[in-house]
Structure 1
Amino acid sequence: MANTHTFSKGEEIANAITHGIGALLSIAALVILIVFSSLYGTAWHVVSFTLFGTTMVLLYTSSTLVHSFPPGRAKNVFEILDHSSIYFFIAGSYTPFLFVAVQGALGWTSSELSGGWRLVERCSSHFS
Protein backbone atom coordinates (compact mmCIF):
# COMPACT_ATOMS: atom_id res chain seq x y z
CA MET A 1 0.00 0.00 0.00
CA ALA A 2 1.41 3.37 -0.96
CA ASN A 3 2.14 5.75 1.88
CA THR A 4 -0.32 8.60 1.41
CA HIS A 5 0.75 10.66 4.41
CA THR A 6 4.16 11.71 5.63
CA PHE A 7 4.28 12.85 9.25
CA SER A 8 7.17 14.36 11.16
CA LYS A 9 8.54 12.45 14.14
CA GLY A 10 6.76 14.87 16.49
CA GLU A 11 3.46 14.37 14.69
CA GLU A 12 3.85 10.59 14.85
CA ILE A 13 4.53 10.77 18.60
CA ALA A 14 1.53 13.04 19.15
CA ASN A 15 -0.67 10.76 17.03
CA ALA A 16 0.51 7.66 18.91
CA ILE A 17 -0.15 9.29 22.29
CA THR A 18 -3.58 10.71 21.45
CA HIS A 19 -4.72 7.53 19.72
CA GLY A 20 -3.33 5.49 22.63
CA ILE A 21 -5.47 7.57 24.99
CA GLY A 22 -8.40 6.84 22.68
CA ALA A 23 -7.58 3.12 22.86
CA LEU A 24 -7.56 3.18 26.66
CA LEU A 25 -10.82 5.14 26.79
CA SER A 26 -12.41 2.76 24.28
CA ILE A 27 -11.44 -0.21 26.47
CA ALA A 28 -13.09 1.53 29.43
CA ALA A 29 -16.14 2.29 27.29
CA LEU A 30 -16.34 -1.35 26.16
CA VAL A 31 -16.36 -2.53 29.78
CA ILE A 32 -19.05 0.02 30.71
CA LEU A 33 -21.16 -0.92 27.68
CA ILE A 34 -21.00 -4.61 28.51
CA VAL A 35 -21.75 -4.11 32.21
CA PHE A 36 -24.70 -1.77 31.68
CA SER A 37 -26.17 -3.71 28.77
CA SER A 38 -25.99 -6.95 30.76
CA LEU A 39 -27.59 -5.32 33.81
CA TYR A 40 -30.34 -3.38 32.06
CA GLY A 41 -30.72 -4.85 28.58
CA THR A 42 -31.34 -8.04 26.71
CA ALA A 43 -28.95 -10.41 24.98
CA TRP A 44 -29.37 -8.23 21.87
CA HIS A 45 -28.05 -5.24 23.80
CA VAL A 46 -25.05 -7.17 25.10
CA VAL A 47 -24.11 -8.57 21.68
CA SER A 48 -24.60 -5.32 19.79
CA PHE A 49 -22.76 -3.12 22.27
CA THR A 50 -19.96 -5.67 22.57
CA LEU A 51 -19.52 -5.56 18.78
CA PHE A 52 -19.60 -1.76 18.79
CA GLY A 53 -17.08 -1.51 21.64
CA THR A 54 -14.79 -4.12 20.12
CA THR A 55 -14.64 -2.33 16.77
CA MET A 56 -13.88 0.93 18.61
CA VAL A 57 -11.00 -0.74 20.50
CA LEU A 58 -9.73 -2.20 17.20
CA LEU A 59 -9.86 1.22 15.53
CA TYR A 60 -7.89 3.09 18.18
CA THR A 61 -5.44 0.28 18.90
CA SER A 62 -4.53 -0.23 15.26
CA SER A 63 -4.17 3.53 14.79
CA THR A 64 -1.91 3.73 17.85
CA LEU A 65 0.26 0.94 16.49
CA VAL A 66 0.57 2.40 13.00
CA HIS A 67 1.85 5.66 14.49
CA SER A 68 4.18 3.85 16.92
CA PHE A 69 6.35 2.05 14.37
CA PRO A 70 9.00 3.53 12.08
CA PRO A 71 8.53 3.16 8.32
CA GLY A 72 8.85 -0.46 7.28
CA ARG A 73 7.03 -3.74 7.12
CA ALA A 74 5.34 -3.56 10.56
CA LYS A 75 4.05 -0.05 9.89
CA ASN A 76 2.68 -1.16 6.51
CA VAL A 77 0.84 -4.10 8.07
CA PHE A 78 -0.67 -1.92 10.79
CA GLU A 79 -1.61 0.73 8.24
CA ILE A 80 -3.68 -1.85 6.35
CA LEU A 81 -5.27 -2.95 9.63
CA ASP A 82 -5.87 0.70 10.58
CA HIS A 83 -7.61 1.49 7.31
CA SER A 84 -9.64 -1.73 7.52
CA SER A 85 -10.71 -1.00 11.08
CA ILE A 86 -12.40 2.21 9.92
CA TYR A 87 -14.84 0.15 7.84
CA PHE A 88 -15.42 -2.27 10.70
CA PHE A 89 -16.09 0.62 13.08
CA ILE A 90 -18.61 2.11 10.65
CA ALA A 91 -20.47 -1.21 10.58
CA GLY A 92 -20.08 -1.60 14.35
CA SER A 93 -21.52 1.87 14.91
CA TYR A 94 -24.94 1.01 13.60
CA THR A 95 -25.03 -2.59 14.80
CA PRO A 96 -26.75 -1.58 18.09
CA PHE A 97 -29.45 0.23 16.12
CA LEU A 98 -30.03 -2.73 13.80
CA PHE A 99 -30.02 -5.36 16.56
CA VAL A 100 -31.92 -3.42 19.24
CA ALA A 101 -34.26 -1.02 17.42
CA VAL A 102 -34.92 -2.86 14.15
CA GLN A 103 -34.48 -6.46 15.42
CA GLY A 104 -35.68 -9.63 13.75
CA ALA A 105 -34.99 -10.71 10.20
CA LEU A 106 -34.75 -7.15 8.91
CA GLY A 107 -32.10 -6.27 11.51
CA TRP A 108 -30.04 -9.38 10.76
CA THR A 109 -30.37 -8.96 6.99
CA SER A 110 -29.42 -5.29 7.15
CA SER A 111 -26.46 -6.12 9.38
CA GLU A 112 -25.22 -8.85 7.04
CA LEU A 113 -25.64 -6.68 3.96
CA SER A 114 -23.86 -3.73 5.54
CA GLY A 115 -21.04 -5.96 6.79
CA GLY A 116 -20.64 -7.45 3.33
CA TRP A 117 -20.67 -4.01 1.77
CA ARG A 118 -17.96 -2.81 4.17
CA LEU A 119 -15.84 -5.81 3.19
CA VAL A 120 -16.29 -5.04 -0.52
CA GLU A 121 -15.43 -1.37 0.08
CA ARG A 122 -12.32 -2.30 2.04
CA CYS A 123 -11.10 -4.76 -0.56
CA SER A 124 -11.73 -2.37 -3.43
CA SER A 125 -9.91 0.49 -1.69
CA HIS A 126 -6.98 -1.80 -0.87
CA PHE A 127 -6.50 -2.86 -4.47
CA SER A 128 -7.16 0.46 -6.17
Structure 2
Amino acid sequence: MVVSTRAERKAYFASLPKPKARGWIHTIMAPLALANGILLIIFAPTVPARIGTLIFALSAVLLFGNSGIYHRGNWSARVNAVLRRIDHANIFLLIAGTYTPLSIMLLEPARAALVLGIVWTGALVGTFIHVFHIDAPRWFQTLLYVALGWVAVWFLPDFWRSGGPAIFFLLLAGGLAYTIGALFYAMRWPNPWPKYFGFHEFFHVGTVIGYACHSVSVWLAIFR
Protein backbone atom coordinates (compact mmCIF):
# COMPACT_ATOMS: atom_id res chain seq x y z
CA MET A 1 0.00 0.00 0.00
CA VAL A 2 1.36 3.44 -1.00
CA VAL A 3 0.75 6.09 1.67
CA SER A 4 1.70 9.61 0.61
CA THR A 5 0.38 12.53 2.65
CA ARG A 6 0.81 12.98 6.40
CA ALA A 7 -2.94 12.62 6.92
CA GLU A 8 -2.98 9.39 4.93
CA ARG A 9 0.01 8.02 6.83
CA LYS A 10 -1.63 8.90 10.14
CA ALA A 11 -4.90 7.23 9.12
CA TYR A 12 -3.04 4.18 7.86
CA PHE A 13 -1.04 3.61 11.05
CA ALA A 14 -4.11 4.34 13.19
CA SER A 15 -6.01 1.62 11.34
CA LEU A 16 -3.44 -1.03 12.21
CA PRO A 17 -4.06 -3.24 15.27
CA LYS A 18 -1.97 -2.50 18.34
CA PRO A 19 1.04 -4.76 18.82
CA LYS A 20 0.40 -7.20 21.66
CA ALA A 21 3.24 -5.67 23.69
CA ARG A 22 1.83 -2.14 23.36
CA GLY A 23 1.73 -0.47 26.76
CA TRP A 24 3.10 -3.37 28.79
CA ILE A 25 6.60 -1.92 29.10
CA HIS A 26 5.37 1.25 30.77
CA THR A 27 2.69 -0.62 32.73
CA ILE A 28 5.41 -2.72 34.36
CA MET A 29 7.61 0.34 34.90
CA ALA A 30 4.96 2.36 36.77
CA PRO A 31 5.15 0.46 40.11
CA LEU A 32 8.92 0.12 39.79
CA ALA A 33 9.23 3.89 39.34
CA LEU A 34 6.97 4.39 42.36
CA ALA A 35 9.12 2.13 44.55
CA ASN A 36 12.30 3.75 43.28
CA GLY A 37 10.88 7.21 43.91
CA ILE A 38 9.89 6.40 47.49
CA LEU A 39 13.39 5.13 48.24
CA LEU A 40 14.99 8.19 46.63
CA ILE A 41 12.88 10.48 48.81
CA ILE A 42 13.73 8.51 51.95
CA PHE A 43 17.47 8.61 51.32
CA ALA A 44 17.67 12.18 50.00
CA PRO A 45 19.99 14.04 52.39
CA THR A 46 18.24 17.42 52.65
CA VAL A 47 14.76 18.91 52.43
CA PRO A 48 15.45 20.53 49.02
CA ALA A 49 16.82 17.18 47.79
CA ARG A 50 13.66 15.43 49.01
CA ILE A 51 11.51 17.94 47.16
CA GLY A 52 13.60 17.40 44.02
CA THR A 53 13.38 13.62 44.22
CA LEU A 54 9.64 13.88 44.91
CA ILE A 55 9.18 15.87 41.69
CA PHE A 56 11.29 13.34 39.79
CA ALA A 57 9.28 10.44 41.24
CA LEU A 58 5.91 12.02 40.50
CA SER A 59 6.84 12.87 36.91
CA ALA A 60 8.09 9.32 36.29
CA VAL A 61 5.07 7.60 37.83
CA LEU A 62 2.72 9.93 35.95
CA LEU A 63 4.45 9.20 32.64
CA PHE A 64 4.66 5.42 33.00
CA GLY A 65 1.27 5.06 34.71
CA ASN A 66 -0.71 7.17 32.26
CA SER A 67 1.12 5.65 29.30
CA GLY A 68 0.23 2.15 30.48
CA ILE A 69 -3.42 3.11 30.91
CA TYR A 70 -3.55 4.93 27.57
CA HIS A 71 -1.83 2.27 25.48
CA ARG A 72 -3.36 -0.82 27.11
CA GLY A 73 -6.98 0.29 27.06
CA ASN A 74 -9.58 0.57 24.33
CA TRP A 75 -11.08 3.95 25.06
CA SER A 76 -13.79 6.11 23.60
CA ALA A 77 -12.60 8.83 21.25
CA ARG A 78 -13.04 11.49 23.94
CA VAL A 79 -11.17 9.62 26.68
CA ASN A 80 -8.48 8.57 24.21
CA ALA A 81 -7.90 12.21 23.22
CA VAL A 82 -7.49 13.27 26.86
CA LEU A 83 -5.11 10.42 27.70
CA ARG A 84 -3.12 11.09 24.54
CA ARG A 85 -2.63 14.73 25.46
CA ILE A 86 -1.50 13.78 28.96
CA ASP A 87 0.78 11.09 27.53
CA HIS A 88 2.59 13.51 25.23
CA ALA A 89 2.79 16.29 27.83
CA ASN A 90 4.26 13.92 30.41
CA ILE A 91 7.45 13.55 28.39
CA PHE A 92 8.21 17.23 28.95
CA LEU A 93 7.40 16.94 32.65
CA LEU A 94 9.73 13.96 33.08
CA ILE A 95 12.57 15.79 31.34
CA ALA A 96 12.19 18.76 33.68
CA GLY A 97 11.55 16.44 36.63
CA THR A 98 14.84 14.65 35.94
CA TYR A 99 16.84 17.87 35.91
CA THR A 100 15.28 18.97 39.22
CA PRO A 101 16.97 16.74 41.85
CA LEU A 102 20.27 16.68 39.96
CA SER A 103 20.40 20.47 39.72
CA ILE A 104 19.43 20.90 43.37
CA MET A 105 22.01 18.42 44.65
CA LEU A 106 24.89 19.09 42.26
CA LEU A 107 24.84 22.74 41.20
CA GLU A 108 25.37 26.01 43.01
CA PRO A 109 22.00 27.61 43.93
CA ALA A 110 22.21 30.35 41.29
CA ARG A 111 23.27 27.87 38.61
CA ALA A 112 20.55 25.41 39.65
CA ALA A 113 17.92 28.16 39.50
CA LEU A 114 19.05 29.05 35.98
CA VAL A 115 18.91 25.45 34.74
CA LEU A 116 15.53 24.78 36.34
CA GLY A 117 14.11 28.06 35.08
CA ILE A 118 15.07 27.11 31.53
CA VAL A 119 13.87 23.50 31.59
CA TRP A 120 10.61 24.13 33.44
CA THR A 121 9.75 27.04 31.15
CA GLY A 122 10.46 24.77 28.19
CA ALA A 123 8.39 21.98 29.75
CA LEU A 124 5.41 24.29 30.26
CA VAL A 125 5.66 25.59 26.69
CA GLY A 126 5.92 22.03 25.35
CA THR A 127 2.98 20.93 27.48
CA PHE A 128 0.87 23.84 26.21
CA ILE A 129 1.68 23.00 22.60
CA HIS A 130 0.84 19.33 23.03
CA VAL A 131 -2.38 19.96 24.93
CA PHE A 132 -3.74 22.47 22.43
CA HIS A 133 -2.01 21.29 19.24
CA ILE A 134 -1.97 17.52 19.70
CA ASP A 135 -2.02 16.92 15.94
CA ALA A 136 1.21 18.80 15.31
CA PRO A 137 3.52 16.90 12.93
CA ARG A 138 5.32 13.99 14.54
CA TRP A 139 8.73 15.38 13.54
CA PHE A 140 7.89 18.67 15.29
CA GLN A 141 6.86 16.87 18.48
CA THR A 142 10.09 14.89 18.43
CA LEU A 143 12.15 18.02 17.83
CA LEU A 144 10.60 19.65 20.91
CA TYR A 145 11.34 16.60 23.09
CA VAL A 146 14.95 16.37 21.96
CA ALA A 147 15.57 20.12 22.18
CA LEU A 148 14.32 20.31 25.77
CA GLY A 149 16.22 17.17 26.75
CA TRP A 150 19.51 18.62 25.55
CA VAL A 151 18.89 22.26 26.50
CA ALA A 152 21.18 21.95 29.52
CA VAL A 153 24.09 20.61 27.46
CA TRP A 154 25.80 23.94 28.16
CA PHE A 155 25.78 23.04 31.86
CA LEU A 156 27.31 19.58 31.46
CA PRO A 157 30.75 20.85 32.57
CA ASP A 158 29.10 21.91 35.84
CA PHE A 159 27.69 18.42 36.33
CA TRP A 160 31.12 16.95 35.54
CA ARG A 161 32.86 19.13 38.13
CA SER A 162 30.31 18.57 40.88
CA GLY A 163 29.12 15.04 40.16
CA GLY A 164 32.14 13.37 38.60
CA PRO A 165 32.52 11.24 35.49
CA ALA A 166 30.02 8.53 36.48
CA ILE A 167 27.11 10.95 36.80
CA PHE A 168 28.25 12.86 33.72
CA PHE A 169 28.33 9.78 31.48
CA LEU A 170 25.06 8.44 32.90
CA LEU A 171 23.42 11.74 31.98
CA LEU A 172 24.81 11.44 28.46
CA ALA A 173 23.80 7.78 28.14
CA GLY A 174 20.28 8.50 29.34
CA GLY A 175 19.97 11.46 26.99
CA LEU A 176 21.12 9.36 24.05
CA ALA A 177 18.64 6.60 24.95
CA TYR A 178 15.77 9.09 25.03
CA THR A 179 16.94 10.67 21.78
CA ILE A 180 17.29 7.38 19.90
CA GLY A 181 13.87 6.29 21.15
CA ALA A 182 12.37 9.59 20.02
CA LEU A 183 13.90 9.16 16.56
CA PHE A 184 12.37 5.67 16.33
CA TYR A 185 9.03 7.28 17.21
CA ALA A 186 9.43 9.99 14.58
CA MET A 187 10.51 7.59 11.81
CA ARG A 188 8.11 4.78 12.81
CA TRP A 189 11.13 2.51 12.50
CA PRO A 190 12.28 -0.16 13.20
CA ASN A 191 9.01 -2.04 13.01
CA PRO A 192 10.13 -5.69 12.80
CA TRP A 193 7.16 -7.46 14.39
CA PRO A 194 4.10 -5.20 13.92
CA LYS A 195 1.75 -7.71 15.51
CA TYR A 196 3.83 -8.09 18.65
CA PHE A 197 6.60 -5.50 19.06
CA GLY A 198 6.71 -2.46 16.81
CA PHE A 199 8.49 0.87 16.50
CA HIS A 200 6.51 2.35 19.39
CA GLU A 201 7.77 -0.37 21.70
CA PHE A 202 11.35 0.52 20.77
CA PHE A 203 10.48 4.11 21.68
CA HIS A 204 9.22 2.93 25.08
CA VAL A 205 12.36 0.86 25.62
CA GLY A 206 14.40 4.00 24.99
CA THR A 207 12.44 5.87 27.67
CA VAL A 208 13.00 3.06 30.18
CA ILE A 209 16.75 2.94 29.51
CA GLY A 210 16.96 6.73 29.74
CA TYR A 211 14.99 6.77 33.00
CA ALA A 212 17.17 3.99 34.45
CA CYS A 213 20.40 5.83 33.61
CA HIS A 214 19.13 9.05 35.12
CA SER A 215 17.79 7.27 38.20
CA VAL A 216 21.22 5.81 38.87
CA SER A 217 22.72 9.29 38.47
CA VAL A 218 20.29 10.61 41.10
CA TRP A 219 21.29 7.78 43.45
CA LEU A 220 24.95 8.62 42.92
CA ALA A 221 24.22 12.28 43.63
CA ILE A 222 22.56 11.29 46.91
CA PHE A 223 25.51 9.19 48.10
CA ARG A 224 28.40 11.18 46.65
User: What corresponds to 2:25 in structure 1?
Assistant: 18
Partners of 1:94 and 1:45 in 2: CA distance: 12
- TM-superposed CA distance for 1:97, in Å, is 1.8
Partners of 1:36 and 1:75 in 2: CA distance: 38
Partners of 2:42 and 2:125 in 1: CA distance: 33
- TM-superposed CA distance for 1:89, in Å, is 0.3
* 2:53 paired residue among 18, 40, 49: 49
Between structures 1 and 2, the one with greater helix share:
1
Q: Please state if 1:76 is matched with 2:61.
A: no
Structure 2 counterpart of 1:107, one-letter code: A
User: What corresponds to 2:96 in structure 1?
Assistant: 91
Partners of 1:8 and 1:26 in 2: CA distance: 28
Unaligned residue ranges in structure 2 (runs of 5+): 1-6, 137-224
User: What corresponds to 1:63 in structure 2?
Assistant: 67
- TM-superposed CA distance for 1:55, in Å, is 0.6
* TM-score after normalising by structure 2: 0.49
* TM-score after normalising by structure 1: 0.82
Q: Secondary structure at the match of 2:22?
A: helix
Whether the 8 Å contact between 2:63 and 2:90 is mirrored in structure 1 is yes
- Calculate the aligned-residue CA RMSD, in Å: 2.2
Q: Deviations over 1:27-86 (max 9, x none)?
A: 11111111111xxx1112211111111110011011011113325111111110000000
User: What corresponds to 1:104 in structure 2?
Assistant: 109
Highest relative contact order (Cα 8 Å, sep 6+), 1 or 2? 1
Structure with higher Rg: it is 2
- The count of aligned residue pairs is 122
Unaligned residue ranges in structure 1 (runs of 5+): none
Identity %: 26
- TM-superposed CA distance for 1:8, in Å, is 1.9
Q: Secondary structure at the match of 2:127?
A: helix
Whether the 8 Å contact between 2:41 and 2:54 is mirrored in structure 1 is yes
